[in-house]
Copies of this chain bind each other. A is one copy, B any other.
Amino acid sequence: AQLLGPRALRQTWPTRTTHQHKGHFGHVLIVGGQAGMPGAVLMAARAALRSGAGLVSVATHPAHAALLPLAQPELMSHAMDDPAALVDLIEPATAVVCGPGLGQSEWARTLLETVCVSAGPRAVVLDADALNLLASSPVDLPERSVLTPHPGEAARLLGTTTANVQADRLRALSALVARSGRAVVLKGAGSWVGAPGERPSLCVAGNPGMGTGGMGDVLSGLLGAALAGPMRAGALAPLVGGAVLAHALAGDEAADRLGQAGLLPSDLIASLPNIIPRP
């Protein structure tokens, strides 16, 4: 196994050149947020904005779709009363994040299945309830998918216990990669990144202050921006590693400022400008 280090950050966020515009930096589409649950998509979308996406759109429940841009005016937000409309939103996107606050209703499953059928060559980050839906009933995954389970979600995907996953995290990672045939981030203290045919990578940054609900939503947004951006045509695993490392380092930077207890996902988003490499 190899450790994730500064080179991963530079690969994911290369220096911008003068004539690049928002089209080069990609368009992330976040799919999630069942009725009453707008927070997770808001955090994922903000993380994507702070990670360099040229455009960030949200496909979410009609109950709050029109309200999200009042909290973050850079967002474009679309009400998904008819999941068929999702296909038109996927078309201009260069990466899709599916899962934050998605829930496990029929509405949620239809959105997940539409993402998987329509993604084509786009990178797709599957997190949170998208993983729970996959665990309960499999779906054909897009070729450039990344699964980001925490140990409990990993256990559900593997049909085992959280304790078993934690007892040998590298073995659990390998099993997840083998079973899904896709890139996987196994979250937790010491996150692992794996992908078919790639040597696994370990992230040794991060701290237990990151044990707060919503930290995973920030990672999914960060991954969306990393995979949507100018390096999107290249290999998946290095970009995933860069995003995982940036997330952990932002957590460490935020904990230096604010301490570990009470550290919030929003604090990590605010720390990203201090982590993402500059020209």
Q: Which A residues are within 8 Å of any B CB, using their own CB?
A: 13, 16-25, 35-40, 42-43, 46, 49-56, 63-79, 150-151, 188-189, 207-209, 211-215, 257-262, 264-266, 272-273, 276-279
| Copies of this polypeptide in the complex | 4
Residue of B nearest to A68 (CB): B70
Are A276 and B264 in contact (CB-based, < 8 A)?
no
From DSSP, what is the main secondary structure of chain A's interface residues? loop
Q: Please judge, given known A-B contacts A25-B211, A66-B63, whether A19 and B49 are in contact too, CB under 8 Å.
A: no
Are A262 and B272 in contact (CB-based, < 8 A)?
yes
Chain B residues near A213 (CB-CB < 8 A): 22, 54-56, 74, 76
Residue of B nearest to A51 (CB): B262
Chain B residues near A257 (CB-CB < 8 A): 273
Are A49 and B278 in contact (CB-based, < 8 A)?
no
A24 smallest CB distance to B (angstroms): 7
Chain B residues near A46 (CB-CB < 8 A): 73
Chain B residues near A68 (CB-CB < 8 A): 70
A-B residue pairs, 4 tightest by C-beta: A39-B69, A52-B261, A39-B73, A16-B208
Which residue of B71, B188, B208, B277 is within 8 Å of A70 (Cβ)?
B71
Residue of B nearest to A67 (CB): B70
A253 smallest CB distance to B (angstroms): 13
